Each structure stands twice: as structure tokens, then as C-alpha cells.
């Protein structure tokens, strides 16, 4: 998986760093995963003796979140990463088909006019994948996924197609897909392709005029109809070219809107039945290069190509393979027959390769013809792809022929066209085709199924292996899904393996899922049955019902240190047991360990109707504290009043800073001894001013910490304390304190002092 750098915390480079090429240096790096899609590393470089540090990079972060679609129209985001597998698809080159060829292709597309229209539209969209489409419908269908011509076309994006209704041009309500076309009103938007299905033939006359519709077609665009243009009841327009592919039951009409001369897309070489005429896009001269020892077939091919180009008003000459080519091809249009019937590039000598480079570099344009089959025919494809990229020279083209019979005519057609395609193919029937790269959805699905990365609906009971909850794209909640849990290896001496029966969802999970906190694991608390214990575990045994702090608890099976487990009495359900660890341990550590609150002191609890808020209220009542709270709605206000008996005078609004004046008012201007804060931004800053002298501000939120928000210093003048913690940090740095806190907390739960928060 590719990663791109997004952040460097610290970059230090020594003034003594050597700049001499070849100077040996030594170094090392350390990397660790940071969240779901980021890696953080540090890099150090030293001299040979490891006595002097030349360079250090710390906090170097890179992410795999590259070019993903997070728009509302992104469709199924179960896996929004670009596909691994792609395939090349070939389609008839619409702009390079002669009229009789196009007629044959359209006739073979299907029995109905709509099938013929679909084929024409597919060819146009294949050449121009970003072309915009307007499809006119006789009446509004129940669904756009079927019953329309464009529904059978693979589109590069959904929003490139719009619809309009003939019989009901006034639309009820807003619709992104439908446009309102009003005859007599100037065209506000134009399209590359307008489609009128065969169903429009009966109602088009009198509804919309042909000139009105043609006004909505961009220069160089097309209007295609599944009926004879005479249905319009109007004379043939003078400023567009019309082709009619008629049979008894399924006629098709194609209107081509001329583009500016510089953008004319080879109409003379394709759908136009007019005389080809002279082509002014090329100079008068075309050089045809034969191989060093041309075969009879190559010589005949050259002569025929010269004749055809002459009929098109061009002078063509055949030049031999000599050293003089290096100057002869300068600024000329060149046709190469070097690999027409025999490999050349596969075993090219140094001298000949130098001449090939001169042709590529110095010619005005190059058309390389080959009728070879097999890998040897593709050597030139790779070479010219590189050259086009490095030289920014799209005039380097390749035409692969199935045989020599149609070659001269097709080569001449490509030469005089304005096609932007650089790789073309003749399909065996004399029809030119061009390729596009498409994501291979079926192969990607197969690869995903073998790699275990595919997503499908199934019952968790059907999986005979451990599962864990993850999110493939933080910020997109519909990419949450269960997958195989990573193997944790051997069970450690102090670990307990638990079959999870219930896990608690808390605010940290929401923050991780939204991408606001970087962490690869979801879930921190759960309850279940002990499956196994490490050799040194004595506090619990197999079969015990436990409530526990579990890092990554949203899983079917998880492990945690034994000190994080508490045996549950039978009167506590698994659901209740999963709701205890985070909220009650947080409240206990904040009010008892950090704030050291004593009876009759006061506390302001923000977001009191939440899990931590309710836990803090229960603990504060047990500690005999004066309690002040904030809530965000009337329902939450009712909850804390009815369930916990908080008086209305002690309840404030958490949605704005009015609680500051409220707390000051009800405390006689003193403030509170402790603020338990989970608000962010300006409300955190204002909460700071609710503290009484020598009070303690306990921050349990994460957003301001991760964003490095500034903190006012003035309140410190009153001897106040600001402290912040997360349970993960306590567990990491003070596991003994974490164990003691959880043990004391659950003792209160067993005694019935604390109960599960609701709802």
C-alpha cells in the first residue's frame, strides 16, 4: 500500500553534514503505526564512527489516505480504496469510422433503435469518457437504472448524465438528475451528446424543435435519435451534418455539430459522406521509412500508402534505412514500416537504435505500423509510452494491424485525422479501435475474497474465527465493518482471554471513527466470560463472568491484563458490566485521585447526561459534594432532575458560555472546587473561569489536546490546577494506579453505590 508524507514534527540537520558524493554515513530509523492509516517514524544519520549526528527527523508521518472519494455520490464505501486490478478494453474508434463501417456497426448492435443508440453512445463515451449527456424521455420513468438508453452505458461518473421529459417539462420539486427545457429560452447549458430514444419519436413533433435541441449541443458534439429525423416535421438543418442509418423497423439519425476548424474531430475521415478533400493538418510531405531489407509485402504496402496519401492531397516518399535519416526526418511527418512484418526493436543494434531515437526526437510526428503478433509487437508500445511522457509529445503513435490488407487505408486515415489517441488497433474486419483502462471489478472482488479484504453481509455466528470491529476510512461511518482479528500470538503470563458478550461504545470510539483521534483500535471496555488465563493469573479463572478494561473490545474474543478484570456478581448483566469500566473509572480518577475532593466541596460536571457525567454525579453524591451540571437539551435536563435529584437552579446550558455567569451567581461569586470538563474550544476556555481559588480543572476531552489549543494563564494566579488525562495513559505509565482505581471503583459497584448509566 502506498504512503505519502503529510507532517514532520522536527527536522534537524547539522552544519557539518558532508556534501561530497560518496561519503559513507550510517543511520537507522524507527517506525510505528499511528492510527488506522498513518505511520509515524523517526530517522537518524551519523558519521562512520557514530560520534556525530548529521541529521534527525522526528514525528515524520505518512498516510495511505490518497485520493479517496468522500463525496456524497461516492456510492458504496465499503472499500473506497482504488482497485488493485485494471484491464484494457477496446472499442470502435467512433471518430475514425467511415460511414459504411459505422452503418455496419450500428446495424449489428441490436434489433431496436434504442440498442443502436446505445452502441453509438458507448463508442462516443469510450473516446471521450468525460463527455456530458442529456437524454430526452417521452415520459418520466419510475427508475433511471432501467428504461433509458444511458442506463446501459458504463459512465465515469454519475453526474455526467442529465434527463429531460418531453410530455412533462415542468418538474415537481428539485431533482439533480432532471433538467427543465423550455422552448424559446436560450440554452443555459450544453452537452456533448443528446439522446432521443425511439419512444420520443411519437411525441417530438410540436414539443421541441430540432434547432432548439441542436442549440443544446456543444460544438463537436452529437444528437442521436431513435427515429427518422422527418419526425421533427422540419427541414434538415444547414449547420449540422446528418447521417441516417435506416431499416424498416429501427431507424437511427445522427446529427454532428461542426467544431472549430482546429478541433474538428476527423469528420471527413469518419461519418461524413462528403469528399475527403485536401488535409491541411499535415505538411505536404510524409516520409515512409522501410526496414533495411524490405520484403515484397512491405514494398507493395509502401506503394499503396503513397497512392492513397496522394489522393488525399499529400506528397509521400519512401526513404531507405540509412544514416542520413538522422537529418532527413527533422520536423517531418514520419510513417515507420520497420516492424510491419518482422521484429525490429527486439534485437535492434546500437547503431540502429540511435537512428530510432533520432526519429522519435526529431520528427514532427510518428506513426509506427506493425502487423506482428506476440510480445515482440509490444516493445515499441513501451518505448513510445516513455517517450511521450518524457518529451510531452503526443504525436508519437502506434497502429497494430491484424493483416496488411486494410493497412494502407487505415494508416492514411489516422495520419489525416485529429485523433488524440496514441495507440490504435485494427480488429481484423478493417475497423479501427482505441483502448481505455477500466477497473476490473470482478477480478478485484476475486482478489479481495482470497485476500480476506472483501466485504459482504453474514451472520457473526457463521464465522468460526475471532472478529474485531474496524473502520477502513476514518470519517466515513459506513465503512465500519467486522473483519478477522489479528493474531495476538501466545497468551502472556499476566493476560486473560475473554469471550466478549457485550462491549461499551463511548465518545472515544466516535472520535476515532470520525478521524478526530488517531488510534487503530475501537472499544475500550467490555464484559464476557473468561476463556483462558496466563500462567501467573490468580484473580480470575476460566468460566468467570468479568467486567474489564479491554483495548480493542469491539471484538468476539479479546485479551487484557488480569489487573483490568473485575469479577461480576450474578445480578449484573453483561450489558451493564460493559458500561462500567470507562465512565466510572474516569469519574473516580478525576474526582478522587486528581481533584482529591472532600465532603461539602463543589464540582461542575459538564455534559452531565452522558456516561461519564452520570457516573460523576453518582460518585459526587456518594462523596457528599455540592453538584452543578450542564446539559444540552430539555430532555437531558429532565433526566438529571428526575433520576439524580439535581435541583433546577444547579443545571445550566452547555451549548453556550452562559453557564459561567450562572455558576458564579449560585456560588456567590466564588466558583467551584472542581470542573470536570469535556467541552472543547471556547467553552473549555470559559469553563476555566468557573474555578474557585485553589480549585482543580480536570480535562477529560481529547480534541483540544490533539489540536494543541492555547490556555489562558490568568486563572493560575488564584492557585488553581489544570490537569488532563486519558485512561490509556494511566494504564501505560501507572498500571498500579490504574489497577487500584478500577478495584476501588468496582467495589462501589458491588455495594450498589454506583449503577449503570441510562438510557
Residue at a domain's end among 389, 423, 438: 438
For residue 197, what is the enclosing H or E element?
Answer: none
The proportion of the chain whose per-residue pLDDT surpasses 70, expressed as a percent, equals 86
Q: Are 319 and 213 contained in the same domain?
A: no
Q: Per the domain annotation, does 18 fall within a domain?
A: yes
Q: Are 600 and 542 contained in the same domain?
A: no
Specify the CATH number for the domain of residue 162: 3.40.50
Dump pLDDT digits (tens) for 257-282: 776 432 323 333 333 333 333 344 45
Three-state DSSP class for 162?
Answer: strand
pLDDT > 70? residue 738: yes
Mean per-residue pLDDT, 386-399 = 94
Under the banding of pLDDT at 50, 70 and 90, the label for residue 156 is low
Q: Could you give the CA distance from residue 269 to residue 432 in angstroms, rounded to a whole number?
A: 12
DSSP secondary structure code for residue 479 in this structure: G
Compute the mean pLDDT over every residue in the chain, rounded to the nearest whole number: 86
DSSP secondary structure code for residue 486 in this structure: P
Mean per-residue pLDDT, 735-754 = 96
Full DSSP string of 40-81: EEEEEEE-TTS-SEEEEEEEEEEE---S---STT----TT-S
Q: Per the domain annotation, does 73 fall within a domain?
A: no
Mean per-residue pLDDT, 674-679 = 96
Q: Are 100 and 190 contained in the same domain?
A: yes
Cα–Cα–Cα angle for 521, 522, 524, rounded to 5 degrees: 100
- β-strand pairing of 545-549 with 495-503: unpaired
Domain count, the chain: 5
Q: Could you give the CA distance from residue 375 to residue 244 in angstroms, rounded to a whole number?
A: 42
Residue at a domain's end among 578, 598, 633: 578
Q: Are 159 and 183 contained in the same domain?
A: yes
Q: Per the domain annotation, does 75 fall within a domain?
A: no
Q: Are 547 and 639 contained in the same domain?
A: no
Q: Per the domain annotation, does 700 fall within a domain?
A: yes
* 217 against 497, higher pLDDT: 497
- What pLDDT, on the 0 to 100 scale, is given for residue 282? 57
**Paired residues of 480 in beta bridges:** 471
Contact (CB, 8 A) for 222 and 95: no
pTM of the model: 0.55
Residue at a domain's end among 438, 458, 478: 438
- What pLDDT, on the 0 to 100 scale, is given for residue 260? 45
Q: Are 431 and 314 contained in the same domain?
A: yes
- β-strand pairing of 423-426 with 396-400: parallel
Looking at mean pLDDT, say which of 105-114, 239-248, 451-460, 638-647 comes out highest: 638-647
Q: Per the domain annotation, does 446 fall within a domain?
A: no
pLDDT > 70? residue 184: no
Q: Could you give the CA distance from residue 364 to residue 36 in angstroms, rounded to a whole number?
A: 51
Q: Are 249 and 296 contained in the same domain?
A: no
- Phi then psi for 44, rounded to 5 degrees? -135, 140
- What pLDDT, on the 0 to 100 scale, is given for residue 401? 96
- What pLDDT, on the 0 to 100 scale, is given for residue 286? 94
671: Cα separation from own chain's centroid:
50
Mean per-residue pLDDT, 239-252 = 71
- b/e burial code for range 240-266 (CB count within 10 A of at least 16 → b): bbebebeeeebbbbbbbbeeeeeebbb
Mean per-residue pLDDT, 208-226 = 85
Q: Per the domain annotation, does 450 fall within a domain?
A: no
What's the grid cell of residue 51? 560520534
**Paired residues of 361 in beta bridges:** none
Dump pLDDT digits (tens) for 399-436: 999 999 999 999 999 999 889 999 999 998 999 999 99
Structural domain of 57: 4-63
Q: Are 497 and 641 contained in the same domain?
A: no
Q: Are 489 and 629 contained in the same domain?
A: no
pLDDT > 60? residue 80: no
Full DSSP string of 630-679: EESSHHHHHHHHHHH---GGGEEESSSTHHHHHHHHHTTT--EEEEEE--
- What pLDDT, on the 0 to 100 scale, is given for residue 272? 38
- What pLDDT, on the 0 to 100 scale, is given for residue 280? 40
- What pLDDT, on the 0 to 100 scale, is given for residue 185? 61
Under the banding of pLDDT at 50, 70 and 90, the label for residue 237 is low
pLDDT > 80? residue 142: no
Q: Are 167 and 103 contained in the same domain?
A: yes
- What pLDDT, on the 0 to 100 scale, is given for residue 270? 39
Q: Could you give the CA distance from residue 397 to residue 368 in angstroms, rounded to a whole number?
A: 6
Q: Per the domain annotation, does 677 fall within a domain?
A: yes
637: Cα separation from own chain's centroid:
42
Put the strands of the sheet holding 672-677 in their side by side order: 651-653, 626-631, 602-605, 672-677, 691-699, 721-724
- What pLDDT, on the 0 to 100 scale, is given for residue 454? 58
What does the chain come to in residues?
759
Dump pLDDT digits (tens) for 119-130: 999 999 999 988
What is the crossing angle of helices 350-362 and 379-391, to 10°? 50
- What pLDDT, on the 0 to 100 scale, is given for residue 174? 41
pLDDT > 60? residue 476: yes
CA atoms 516, 517, 518, 519: torsion sign: negative
Q: Are 248 and 202 contained in the same domain?
A: yes
Q: Could you give the CA distance from residue 739 to residue 733 in angstroms, rounded to a whole number?
A: 12
- What pLDDT, on the 0 to 100 scale, is given for residue 169? 47
Instruction: Look at 238-252, 608-622, 649-663, 716-730 and tell me which has the smallest mean pLDDT.
Output: 238-252
Specify the CATH number for the domain of residue 612: 3.40.50.720
Q: Are 290 and 420 contained in the same domain?
A: yes
Q: Per the domain annotation, does 451 fall within a domain?
A: no
Which of these, 586, 530, 580, 592, lies nearest to 560 by C-alpha position? Answer: 530
Looking at mean pLDDT, say which of 164-168, 238-242, 396-400, 472-476 comes out highest: 396-400
Dump pLDDT digits (tens) for 678-701: 999 999 999 999 999 999 999 998
Contact (CB, 8 A) for 621 and 629: no
Amino acid at each position: 500500500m502506498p504512503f505519502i508524507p503529510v507532517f514532520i514534527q522536527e527536522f534537524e540537520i547539522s552544519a557539518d553534514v558532508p556534501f561530497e558524493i560518496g561519503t559513507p554515513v550510517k543511520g537507522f530509523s524507527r517506525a510505528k503505526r499511528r492510527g488506522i492509516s498513518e505511520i509515524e517514524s523517526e530517522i537518524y544519520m551519523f558519521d562512520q564512527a557514530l560520534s556525530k549526528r548529521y541529521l534527525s527527523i522526528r514525528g515524520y508521518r505518512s498516510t495511505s489516505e490518497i485520493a479517496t472519494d468522500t463525496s456524497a455520490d461516492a456510492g458504496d464505501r465499503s472499500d473506497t480504496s482504488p482497485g488493485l486490478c485494471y484491464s484494457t478494453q477496446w472499442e470502435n474508434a467512433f471518430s475514425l469510422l467511415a460511414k459504411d463501417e459505422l452503418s455496419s456497426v450500428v446495424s449489428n448492435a441490436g434489433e431496436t433503435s434504442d440498442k443502436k443508440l446505445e452502441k453509438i453512445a458507448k463508442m462516443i463515451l469510450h473516446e471521450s469518457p468525460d463527455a456530458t449527456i442529456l437524454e430526452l424521455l417521452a415520459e418520466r420513468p419510475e427508475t433511471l437504472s432501467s428504461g433509458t438508453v444511458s442506463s446501459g452505458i458504463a459512465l465515469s461518473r454519475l453526474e455526467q448524465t442529465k434527463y429531460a421529459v418531453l410530455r412533462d417539462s415542468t418538474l415537481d420539486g428539485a431533482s439533480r438528475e432532471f433538467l427543465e427545457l423550455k422552448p424559446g429560452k436560450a440554452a443555459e447549458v450544453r452537452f456533448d451528446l443528446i439522446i432521443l430514444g425511439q419512444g420520443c419519436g411519437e411525441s417530438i413533433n410540436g414539443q421541441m424543435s430540432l434547432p432548439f435541441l441542436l442549440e443544446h449541443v456543444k460544438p463537436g458534439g452529437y444528437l442521436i435519435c431513435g427515429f427518422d429525423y422527418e419526425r421533427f416535421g422540419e427541414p434538415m438543418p444547414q449547420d449540422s451534418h446528418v447521417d441516417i442509418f435506416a431499416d424498416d423497423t429501427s431507424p437511427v439519425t445522427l446529427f454532428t455539430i461542426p467544431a472549430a476548424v482546429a478541433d474538428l474531430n476527423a469528420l471527413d475521415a469518419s461519418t461524413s459522406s462528403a469528399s475527403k478533400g485536401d488535409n491541411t493538418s499535415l505538411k505536404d510531405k510524409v516520409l515512409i521509412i522501410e526496414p533495411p531489407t524490405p520484403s515484397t509485402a512491405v514494398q507493395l504496402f509502401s506503394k499503396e500508402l503513397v497512392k492513397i496519401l496522394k489522393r488525399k492531397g499529400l506528397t509521400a516518399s519512401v526513404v531507405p534505412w540509412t544514416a542520413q535519416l538522422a537529418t532527413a526526418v527533422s520536423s517531418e511527418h514520419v510513417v515507420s514500416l520497420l516492424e510491419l512484418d518482422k521484429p525490429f526493436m527486439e534485437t535492434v543494434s546500437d547503431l540502429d537504435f540511435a537512428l530510432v531515437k533520432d526519429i522519435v526526437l526529431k520528427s514532427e510526428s510518428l506513426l509506427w505500423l506493425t502487423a506482428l503478433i506476440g510480445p515482440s509487437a509490444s516493445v515499441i508500445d513501451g518505448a513510445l509510452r516513455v517517450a511521450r511522457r518524457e518529451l510531452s509529445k503526443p504525436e508519437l503513435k502506434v497502429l497494430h494491424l491484424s493483416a496488411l490488407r486494410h493497412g494502407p487505408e487505415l494508416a492514411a486515415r489516422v495520419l489525416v485525422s485529429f485523433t488524440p489517441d496514441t495507440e490504435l488497433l485494427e480488429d481484423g474486419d478493417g475497423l479501427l479501435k482505441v483502448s481505455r483502462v477500466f477497473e476490473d471489478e470482478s477480478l478485484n472482488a476475486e482478489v479481495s475474497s482470497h485476500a480476506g479484504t472483501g466485504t459482504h453481509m453474514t451472520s457473526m455466528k457463521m464465522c468460526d474465527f475471532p472478529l474485531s470491529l474496524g473502520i477502513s476510512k476514518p470519517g466515513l461511518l459506513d465503512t465500519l465493518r467486522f473483519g478477522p482479528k489479528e493474531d495476538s500470538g501466545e497468551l502472556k503470563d499476566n493476560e486473560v482471554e475473554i469471550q466478549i458478550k457485550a462491549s461499551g461504545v463511548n465518545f472515544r470510539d466516535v472520535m476515532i471513527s470520525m478521524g478526530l483521534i488517531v488510534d487503530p483500535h475501537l472499544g475500550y471496555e467490555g464484559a464476557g466470560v473468561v476463556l483462558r488465563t496466563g500462567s501467573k493469573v490468580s484473580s480470575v479463572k476460566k468460566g468467570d463472568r468479568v467486567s474489564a478494561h479491554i483495548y480493542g473490545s469491539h471484538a468476539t474474543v479479546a485479551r487484557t491484563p488480569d489487573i483490568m478484570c473485575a469479577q461480576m456478581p450474578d445480578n449484573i448483566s453483561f450489558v451493564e458490566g460493559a458500561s462500567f469500566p470507562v465512565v466510572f473509572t474516569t469519574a473516580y480518577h478525576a474526582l478522587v485521585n486528581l481533584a482529591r475532593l472532600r465532603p461539602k466541596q463543589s464540582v461542575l460536571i459538564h455534559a452531565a447526561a452522558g456516561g461519564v457525567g452520570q457516573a460523576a454525579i453518582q460518585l459526587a453524591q456518594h462523596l457528599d459534594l455540592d453538584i452543578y451540571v450542564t446539559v444540552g437539551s430539555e430532555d437531558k435536563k429532565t433526566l438529571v432532575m428526575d433520576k439524580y435529584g439535581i435541583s433546577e437552579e444547579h443545571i445550566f446550558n452547555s451549548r453556550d458560555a452562559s453557564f459561567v455567569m450562572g455558576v458564579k451567581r449560585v456560588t456567590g461569586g466564588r466558583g467551584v472546587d472542581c470542573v470536570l470538563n469535556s467541552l472543547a474550544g471556547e467553552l473549555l476556555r470559559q469553563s476555566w473561569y468557573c474555578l474557585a481559588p485553589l480549585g482543580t480543572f480536570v480535562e477529560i476531552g481529547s480534541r483540544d489536546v490533539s489540536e494543541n489549543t492555547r490556555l489562558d494563564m490568568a486563572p493560575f494566579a488564584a492557585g488553581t490546577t489544570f490537569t488532563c488525562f486519558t485512561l490509556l495513559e494511566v494504564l501505560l505509565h501507572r498500571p498500579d494506579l490504574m489497577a487500584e482505581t478500577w478495584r476501588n471503583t468496582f467495589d462501589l459497584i458491588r455495594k450498589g453505590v454506583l449503577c449503570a448509566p441510562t438510557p
